[in-house]
Amino acid sequence: MKAETATAKQSQDLLQVEELNIHFPTDHGMLKAVNGVSFNVYRGKTLGIVGESGCGKSITGKAIIGIQPKTSAISGSIKLGDVDLVKLKRNGREIRAIRGSKIAMIFQEPMAAFSPLYTIGNQIMESILLHRTKNKKEAAMLTVDILQRVGISNPEKRFHQYPHEFSGGMMQRAMIAMALSCEPELLIADEPTTALDVTIQAQVLDLMKQLQREFGMAIVFITHDLGIVAEMCDEVAVMYLGKIVEQATVREIYKNPKHPYTRGLLRSIPTIGSRKERLESIEGTVPIPINMPPMCGFFDRCQDRIPGVCDKREVPETQLSDNHRVSCFLYADTDNETEILS
């Protein structure tokens, strides 16, 4: 019985990230932007990656399609089926065949993500011409079609327009169209609505949910806003200083947050009708992850810290249940720890 569910779950596996490290050599030492990150993405599901700015979300997302900065050193594995994407040659033929076709990405600043010198149609069609058809007419038709599907009215006309003729919301729709044009299995969305104003934000999120139902792709949804996570995701990984400090289903995270950092983030979500004058925010600043001693990176900001414990060792990960894990000394049971140490 148990073995059966395990295989069922495995067949749903789309992407497996294991012990991913992305380090930048700097003059002061190694900057560990991503430090031992592991997570799975399941077919058709949405995984949220949440955390404050600089915690390594974007780099993680970029690393999945191998577009992390050239200056970084990457290790660990990112498995798409049997293929370890980390092992593929940078910008080589194999990873390029996956980019845009199996895994697509959308970015935070839609305006900047397009070149101002080519039409929207040209830039979307490029993907299609690369992965789906060599026929220009057909590619143009497919482009108009996808523009229509992301809710851009008058797509034939819009096809020939330039980015500066689009509004921010329209641009983000165009970017989504570009990403979905080859019907990827996985969409990495890096703060896709952060640059948009609130009403447009809601529209784009609704669109993404609708398109996920239609296309059936999985989404890695990167955001710093736990409020959006509730709306968009099935599962959420909370990142802090290059590590995942807690991961659980969305229900579980909201109902039963364990990590003091997660709790802090939840307290800082604005809720509609809340009378609070000011949102609580987590005190203190994020350290720079260079030459960190073996200790909890959240120690200095943590309300529940245990001096002499949290600042003396690496934090062990505790599997609280099937769908909930946390890295915090508050939940580290000794059994688990010996298991990790042995």
Partner 1 sequence: MSSYIVRRLIMMIPVVILISIIVFFIIQLPPGDFISGYAAKMTTSGEVMDEAALKLLRESYGLDQAWYVQYGKWIWGMISKGDFGYSLNYNRPVSSIIGQYMSLTLVVSIISMLFTYAVSIPIGIFSAVRQYSIADYIFTAFGFIGMATPNFLMAIILMYLSYVYVGDPMLGLFSPEFIDAAWTYAKFVDFFKHMIIPVIVIGLGSTAELIRVMRAQMLDEMDKPYMLTARSKGLSERRIIMKYPVRAAINPIVSTLGWSLTAVFTGSTITAIVLNLPLQGPVMYRALLSQDMYLAGTWLLFMAVCIVLGTLISDILLVWLDPRIRMRKGM
Positions touching Mg ion (CB under 5 A) are 58
**Binds ligand ADP by CB under 6 A, chosen from 14, 15, 57, 235:** 57
How many residues lie near ligand ADP (CB under 6 A)?
A: 13
Strand locations in the chain (E): 13-26, 29-42, 46-50, 73-80, 83-84, 103-106, 186-190, 218-223, 235-240, 243-249, 317-321, 324-327
Count of C-beta atoms within a 10 Å radius of residue 25: 11
Minimal distance in Å, beta carbon 147 to partner 1? 16
| H helices present in 2-154, as ranges | 2-12, 57-64, 93-98, 110-113, 120-131, 136-149
Rule CB under 8 A: say whether 109 interacts with partner 1. yes
Q: Do strands 243-249 and 324-327 pair parallel, antiparallel, or not at all (unpaired)?
A: antiparallel
**Binds partner 1 by CB under 8 A, chosen from 99, 305, 324, 325:** 99
Rule CB under 6 A: say whether 56 interacts with ligand ADP. yes
Instruction: Give the nearer residue to Mg ion in terms of CB position, either 62 or 258.
Output: 62
Rule CB under 6 A: say whether 54 interacts with ligand ADP. yes
Minimal distance in Å, beta carbon 77 to Mg ion? 23
- Record the tokens describing residue 224, joined without a space: 């710093």
Q: Of residues 89-148, which lie at the interface with ligand ADP (CB under 6 A)?
A: none
**What element of type H or E holds 214?**
helix 198-215
Asked if 182 and 96 count as a contact pair (C-beta separation under 8 A), the reply is no
Q: The dihedral of CA 78, 83, 84, 89: what is its sign?
A: negative
Rule CB under 8 A: say whether 279 interacts with partner 1. no
Q: Under the rule (CB under 6 A), what is the footprint of ligand ADP? A: 24, 31, 33, 51, 53-59, 69, 71
Q: Under the rule (CB under 8 A), what is the footprint of partner 1? A: 62, 65, 67, 91, 96-101, 104-105, 107, 109, 112-119, 123, 126-127, 130-131, 162, 164-165, 175, 178-179
